[in-house]
Amino acid sequence: MLIENGILADLSSEGGESAAVNGAKDRLKSAQDAVNSQRRDLDSHNEDLNKEYGPDGVFRALKGQCISVDSGEYTYELCFMEHTTQKSKKGGSSTRMGNFVRFDKITVDEEVSADGKGLGSGERIAMRHENGQHCWNGPNRSTTVVLGCAEQNEIWKVFEEEKCVYRMEVGTPAVCEALKQAEVVKDEL
């Protein structure tokens, strides 16, 4: 009876602990498991927050959205904050042209067509994509996506600047506000 009530240790059981001590150990173990699991959740939320989502986080809503365009013998695709790919129009599997790594700023000087599509000139936000599929006799494929203001998300142009080093010019409403503000600052100067 004393053993069952946790007063005396049950020497025949593993470790010879009393039922009360074993119960307390079990509760401690599950509390620790819960803390560890919450800590992992917290780490993953922090990682999500700390990953750059561009100026004011306007790119957060775009994550995972994909747009594509036909150019030459390929169809090119951009999945925002994820990756770029190239697929032959004749079929077959698609080639990874890089995974999103970070935002950057680059200076451009490009035409803007009559319908308002194009990068124009000045400083623009770019997204770097690296470590795509390895290129035979070359580097791992990489893509710089340069962003201009547009009413809709669309790929304007794709070039292969050097073997397996790609550049996409992309229009998106996500940068319009930042570009407008940069213009105001420039005018004030």
**Residue ranges binding ligand MAN (CB under 6 A):** 86, 95, 135-136, 160, 163-164
Tokens describing residue 10: 């049950």
- DSSP-based three-state secondary structure for 118: coil
Q: Give the nearest distance from C-beta 135 to ligand MAN in angstroms.
A: 5
Beta carbon nearer to ligand MAN, 55 or 139: 139
Beta carbon nearer to ligand MAN, 96 or 124: 96
| DSSP code, position 189 | -
Number of Cβ atoms within 10 Å of the Cβ of 31: 10
Q: Give the nearest distance from C-beta 138 to ligand MAN in angstroms.
A: 6
What is the C-alpha to C-alpha distance for residues 62 and 58, in angstroms, rounded to an integer? 8
Please measure the distance between the N-terminal and C-terminal CA atoms of the chain and give it in whole angstroms.
88
Query: In degrees to the nearest 10, what's the CA dihedral of 144, 68, 149, 72?
Result: 70
Tell me the residue number closest to ligand MAN, measured at CB.
136
User: Are 10 and 21 a contacting pair, CB within 8 Å?
Assistant: no
Q: Give the nearest distance from C-beta 90 to ligand MAN in angstroms.
A: 11
Beta carbon nearer to ligand MAN, 86 or 172: 86
Q: Which helix (H) or strand (E) holds 79?
A: strand 74-79
Beta carbon nearer to ligand MAN, 26 or 159: 159
Q: Give the nearest distance from C-beta 183 to ligand MAN in angstroms.
A: 35
Beta carbon nearer to ligand MAN, 76 or 80: 76
Residue found under tokens 């004011």: 56
Beta carbon nearer to ligand MAN, 62 or 164: 164
Q: Give the nearest distance from C-beta 87 to ligand MAN in angstroms.
A: 10
What is the pairing mode between strands 165-172 and 142-149?
parallel
- DSSP-based three-state secondary structure for 108: strand
Q: Give the nearest distance from C-beta 52 to ligand MAN in angstroms.
A: 28
